[in-house]
A = this chain, B = another copy of it.
Amino acid sequence: MTRLAILISGTGTNMQAIIDACERKEVPAQVTVVISDKPDAPGLERAKKHRIPAVVFEPKDFPSKDAYELEIVKELQKKRIDLVCLAGYMRIVGPTLLSPFKGRMINIHPALLPSFPGLHAQQQAFDYGVTITGATVHFVDDGVDTGPIIVQSAVPVKEDDTVESLSARILAEEHRIYPKAIKWFAEGKLTIEGRKVKLR
């Protein structure tokens, strides 16, 4: 069984989708630990409901970002984590956290990258006036939302959409493709070749 860590900052709906997919045995993995950088992240409660260990590390309790990330790395190594899943973790991952998990850390982004990287991707897409946006699961590299893409899903923008209705439609796709990407990883089907992810 592939051992997953999920990093969150908020409600953790993607985390919930991953937990559910694992519990339904659709994904040959188990969520071994949930880590939040916010003590009041509602996702922590969700983790507890599923009896998944939930840990909080607050950057303000550490002298530097390096020190903060090193503590996370220790936790991940202690739990023998195979794959780190960012799920609404609202920080840029630094080299201290990334290096030990390069090729083993993935993220979900609510847009069809490389369009609309960074914060508020749904709002960015809405304001730009695209008629198609979507969601992307990708390996994390040292850029912001620039890593090799595992899977994407296209979502239409409708005439009467608000940012909220559009975001909800994208979120439904996120919940579908994130577990799928984790399944492929857990089954050993993914290899990174340069910028590309091969699925076999």
Contact = CB atoms under 8 A, between A and B. Distances in A.
Interface of A: 112-116, 127-132, 134, 148-154, 159, 194-199
A198 B160 CA distance: 10
B128 A114 contact: yes
A132 B154 contact: yes
Given A115-B114, A154-B154, A195 B128 contact: yes
4 closest A-B pairs (Cβ-Cβ)?
A154-B154, A129-B196, A132-B152, A115-B115
A159 B199 contact: yes
A148 B129 contact: yes
A140 B194 CA distance: 35
A162 to B, nearest CB: 13
Contact of A112 (B132, B195, B196): B132
23 contacts: A112-B115, A112-B130, A113-B115, A113-B130, A114-B115, A114-B128, A115-B115, A128-B149, A128-B195, A129-B194, A129-B195, A129-B196, A129-B197, A130-B149, A131-B150, A131-B152, A132-B152, A132-B153, A132-B154, A134-B154, A154-B154, A159-B198, A159-B199
A195 B123 CA distance: 13
Contacts of A114: 115-116, 128, 130
A163 to B, nearest CB: 13
A139 B151 CA distance: 30
Among A113, A130, A148, A197, chain B packs the most CB atoms within 10 A around the CB of A130
